[in-house]
Homo-oligomer: A and B are copies of this chain.
Amino acid sequence: MGTTRITAEPDTPFIDLEREFDAPPDLLFRAHSEPELLKQWLGAMYEMTIEEYDVRDGGRWRYTHHAPNGEAYGFHGVFHGNQSTAGMLQTFEFDGAPGRVSLDQLWFVPNGATTIVKVHSVHQTVEARDAMIASGMERGLNEGYARLDDLLARLAAPVA
């Protein structure tokens, strides 16, 4: 629990992640597919607005992170194929780098009482993959996943 394993072999355009969560796959899927839940953890330290989040084959998504200094960072993409508790597949594009797209596949793998979230991300070039790693992705990811741990604990708690 708590540690994200990031693999990015040299000279490949791949990033692979693994992170264990103390929750069943259906809660992980809810936290990744329901906008009201997603913005509670993915924004990490930024406020996040979700303009569109149409979780189905060909459905678009678009959200914006708002930094405290007033800067806004928009991202968008499209879901591909079946989105379910087994996993999700989507394209990912930063508004600031149009035409530079990654293809991100997620799996929610049952592991006894916990779930391993696996992500396989493919970039268009090795250089674009390296730039993503260099952008501070790991820190943002760990902060976001720590918030996701908290959210999952709240979702799993018995209603008072």
Distance between Cα atoms of A101 and B120 in the complex (Å): 12
Distance between Cα atoms of A82 and B99 in the complex (Å): 8
Q: Is A142 engaged at the interface, CB distance under 8 Å to the other chain?
A: no
Which B residues lie within 8 Å of A93 (CB)? 80-81
Q: Interface readout for A40-65 with B: 1 if CB under 8 Å, 0 if not?
A: 00000000000000000010100000
A99 touches B124 (CB 8 A): no
Q: Known contacts A13-B13, A120-B124; is A81 also within 8 Å of B103 by CB?
A: no
Q: How many A residues face the partner with a CB closer than 8 A?
A: 24
Which B residues lie within 8 Å of A89 (CB)? 99, 101
Distance between Cα atoms of A76 and B78 in the complex (Å): 13
Distance between Cα atoms of A103 and B129 in the complex (Å): 14
Q: Is A98 engaged at the interface, CB distance under 8 Å to the other chain?
A: yes
Distance between Cα atoms of A89 and B98 in the complex (Å): 10
Q: Is A114 engaged at the interface, CB distance under 8 Å to the other chain?
A: no
Some 25 contacts from A to B, beta carbons below 8 A apart, are: A11-B11, A12-B13, A13-B13, A13-B14, A58-B60, A58-B76, A78-B78, A78-B80, A78-B91, A80-B91, A80-B93, A80-B99, A80-B101, A81-B93, A81-B98, A81-B99, A89-B99, A89-B101, A91-B103, A99-B105, A101-B103, A103-B122, A120-B124, A122-B122, A122-B124
Q: What residues of chain A have their CB less than 8 Å away from a CB belonging to chain B?
A: 11-14, 58, 60, 76, 78, 80-82, 89, 91, 93, 98-99, 101, 103, 105, 120, 122-125
